[in-house]
Homo-oligomer: A and B are copies of this chain.
Amino acid sequence: MSAIITLTTDFSLADAYVAAMKGVILGINPEVKLVDICHSIKPQNISQAAFILSTAYKFFPQRTIHVVVVDPGVGTERRAIILRTPLADFVAPDNGVLSYVIQDFYQTPPVEQLQPIELPPELEAVAITNPEFWQSPVSATFHGRDIFAPVAARLSLGSPPTDFGETITSLTVLPLTHPYWVQDDILVGHILHIDNFGNLITNIKSEDLPATKQAITIEVGSHSISGLNRTYEEGKGLLALIGSSGYLEVSLKEGNASTFLNAEVGGKVKIRLGNQ
C-alpha cells in the first residue's frame, strides 16, 4: 500500500538513528512513502516538536501516518500511543507532543498544566502494549526504531489501531499558552517559535485580533510596529504580519528579527489597540 509515513524527531541527521527507523519501516511496508518533517528538534524539546508538527500535518493527504519521536522518557512507564483523528494517524509517546493536534478539537485551552485530558468523540486513541509487532529484542533506549517504526509500518498496511493495544480515553497535553487581554486595549502573547529566517512566530492568531479594521501597534521589547503588513517585502525595518500558519509574526526586512531583537522563545509580544 502506497501510504505516507512522516517522521519528526530530535535525532538530527548527524547520526543514523533516523535511517535505522526508515530501514525497519521499509522492511515491513516496502511501498510506503517516507517524508521527513523535521529532525532538528532540540534534544527532548517536546513543545517545539509539538509546534513544528502542527504547522505541517494538515497539508498531508488524509490518512497520512505521523511518527513523532521526541521521547525523554523512553523505556520508562510513559505510554506509547496511536492517536487517530478524522484526518490522520499519529504514533508517538504520550508526553504532550500531540498537544496542538488535540487542541484543534477544543474551543478553549483544555489545560493549565501538563496533565491528561479526556478525548472528544472524534478522536480515537490506543496505548501500544501488544509486543507482537515490535522489533525483537526491544531496546530500552530506542523505541523509535523498535516500537514506533514497526507499529507505524503495520498501521500503514491497514491494521486497525486496536491491533496494537487497548483503547484509552485520555492523553497527556502540554499547558499551551494563549494570548490574554491585560487591559481592554492590550493583548499579551508569547513567542512560540523562531524560524530559520529569524521570524518570531507568536501564539496570537488572526482571530484573536479585533475583527474591525482598527489600528493596532505591535510591541516587542522596546520596539513598536504600526499595523500589519501583508508580505515580508513591504515597508522597511521591523514588520508584523499574519504568517502562513495563521500566527502573528514579527520579521525584519532583509534581516533576522530574532538576532536584531535578541528575542527568545517564550518572550512577550504585545498588541496595543490604537496608533502608536
A14 lies within 8 A of B38 (CB): yes
In the assembled complex, the CB of A248 is this many whole angstroms from the nearest CB of chain B, namely 12
Q: Does residue A133 face the partner (Cβ distance < 8 Å to B)? A: no
- Using a CB–CB cutoff of 8 Å, the interface residues on chain A facing chain B are 2, 4, 6, 10-17, 19-24, 26-27, 30-31, 33-40, 43-44, 52-53, 55-57, 59-61, 64, 72-76, 139-142, 145-146, 193, 195-198, 230-234, 241, 243-244, 254, 256
Question: For chain A, what secondary structure do more than half of its interface residues adopt (helix, strand, loop), or is it mixed?
Answer: loop
CB distance from A189 to the nearest CB of B (A): 18
Q: When chains A and B are docked, how far (Å) is the Cα of A67 from the Cα of B140?
A: 30
Q: How far is the CB of A72 from chain B (nearest CB, A)?
A: 6
Which residues on the B side are within 8 Å of A244 (C-beta)? 139, 141-142, 145-146
Contacts of A31 in B (CB 8 A): 2
Task: Report the Cα distance A17→B59, complex, angstroms.
Answer: 10
Q: Let me know if A26 and B16 touch, CB within 8 A.
A: no
**Chain B residue at smallest Cβ distance from A44:** B254
Once A56-B19, A59-B24, A145-B59 are accepted as A-B contacts, the answer to whether A76 and B35 lie under 8 Å apart by CB is no
Q: Is the CB of B15 within 8 A of A61?
A: no
- CB neighbours (8 Å) of A195 from chain B are 14-15, 17
Distance in Å from the Cβ of A40 to the closest Cβ of chain B?
4
Chain B residue numbers with a CB within 8 Å of A36 are 13, 19
Query: Would A141 and B196 count as touching, CB distance under 8 A?
Result: no
